[in-house]
Amino acid sequence: MKRIHSLAVTVAWLGIATAVAGFARAQDEPSSEPNVVVATVVATVDGQPIYGRDVDRMLAKVIGTRQLNPAMRPLLRAQVLAEVVDRRLVLAYARRMQSGASRAEIDAALAAMESKLAAQERSLAEVLKQRSMTAVDLRRQLNWELTWKKYLGRYITEKRLATYFDAHRREFDGTQLEVSHILLRPPPDAGPEAMDALVEKAREIRRAITSGEISFAEASRKHSAGPSGQSGGRLGLISRRGAMVESFAQAAFALEVGDVSQPVTTRFGVHLIRCDRIVPGSKQPAEVRKPLEEALARELLDRLARVQRQYTPEEFTGKAPYFKPGTRELVVP
């Protein structure tokens, strides 16, 4: 029996997908994840399988050497799977529009890779084994890299960068927010169901705060597991990028002064965030070009995947955590 966890509120990718322009490189490293599932099909896009190894390889890269609470792993796996599905949808879009990489281009990239490996006295078979990949996996990866590079080259223009900056100025111009937060943290040995309880508890705390039953500072002292709890949850000034994990920063920068966020899930637990003060920035587009390009790449990926969904069926086998289609509701096997 599958359990659907109501984590639809501000999940925001836990930092997985903020740099889609470099997304292909996330799979171009050996997996450090133990016991990678090699042949388990976890989803299909247009009838083509996505294997557990595809998700686990990327998940290992996302986690790196960080310690992750076991209760958070299903959510993170579902987010990685959603990203893989979106990539497959983009490749399906490219096939439908006949605008992706050609077989000749993929062959040439493969030949260049083999030549480079030969110069290092390494074989392609050796590298594939090291990365838990098949030849089909590799050709699909090269197809993605070449196709995505084409799309980004056409989509990321100076005009579009300037327009996006104007529409999202506070996220890029160096604006800082003074924020407070309440952190609800699952026990170290908790299962995925613990996150449900924390989200519901966070909703109840938020209701009490917004109705005036309790102040944010008092609620933080009473409920927060973070070190800032005893000081009313005050974290001080944060920037949009770098200081905080992506889902936290994204939710915080959507707030106005005095607003309290809906529950926000990060790898640390479940947060409520309040914006206490806004310090405007003055940076110009040329100073923040890389994050602007990454944001446009994310926008493009989301847009193409959304368009292609009306033509291409996607299904989940239930053998790995996934989001219920059209929602951010987590389904755990």
Instruction: For 31-56, write each residue's pLDDT tens digit.
Output: 333 344 447 999 999 999 999 988 98
Whole-number average pLDDT of the chain: 87
pTM score of the predicted model: 0.79
Weakest-pLDDT range from 48-62, 103-117, 216-230, 286-300: 48-62
pLDDT for 141: 92
Contact present, 29 and 295 (Cβ < 8 Å): no
Q: Look at residue 36 in the predicted model and tell me its pLDDT.
A: 41
Q: Return the half-sphere exposure (C-beta side, CA atoms, 13 A cut-off) of residue 318.
A: 5
Question: pLDDT value at position 4?
Answer: 47
CATH code of the domain occupying 3-165+290-332: 1.10.4030
| CA angle (269 as vertex; 295, 63 as ends), nearest 5 | 60
Q: Residue 23 pLDDT > 70, yes or no?
A: no
Q: What whole-number distance in Å separates Cα of residue 93 and Cα of residue 155? A: 15
Span 81-99, average pLDDT:
96
> Which has the closest alpha carbon to 90: 43, 150, 42, 168?
150
How far is the C-alpha of 4 from the C-alpha of 330, rounded, in Å? 5
Mean pLDDT for 281-298 is 95
Per-residue pLDDT, 151: 97
pLDDT given at position 207: 97
Look at residue 8 in the predicted model and tell me its pLDDT. Answer: 39
Strand pairing category for 314-316 and 41-45: antiparallel
Three-state DSSP at 331 gives strand
Q: Does domain 176-279 have CATH number 3.40.190.10?
A: no
Q: Report the C-alpha gap between 117 and 126 in whole angstroms.
A: 10
Q: Which residue has the tokens 């926008």?
A: 299
Q: What is the pLDDT of residue 211?
A: 97
6 burial type by CB count under 10 A (0-12 exposed, 13-18 middle, 19+ buried): middle
The span from the CA of 333 to the CA of 317, in Å, is 9
Q: What is the pLDDT of residues 118-156, one digit of tens each?
A: 999 999 999 998 888 889 989 999 999 999 999 999 999
Sign of CA dihedral 82, 83, 88, 94: positive
CA distance 181 to 86: 32
Q: Write out the two tokens for 136.
A: 């089909």
Domain chopping of the chain, boundaries: 3-165+290-332, 176-279
* pLDDT of 24 over the 80 cut: no
Helices marked H in the chain: 52-63, 73-97, 103-119, 124-130, 135-155, 158-167, 169-172, 193-210, 216-223, 246-252, 289-308
pLDDT at 69: 73
Q: What spatial distance separates the first Cα and last Cα of the chain, rounded to whole Å? A: 7
pLDDT in tens, 191-201: 777 888 999 99
Distance CA 135, CA 154 (A): 29
Q: How confident is the model at residue 18 (pLDDT cuts 50, 70, 90)?
A: very low
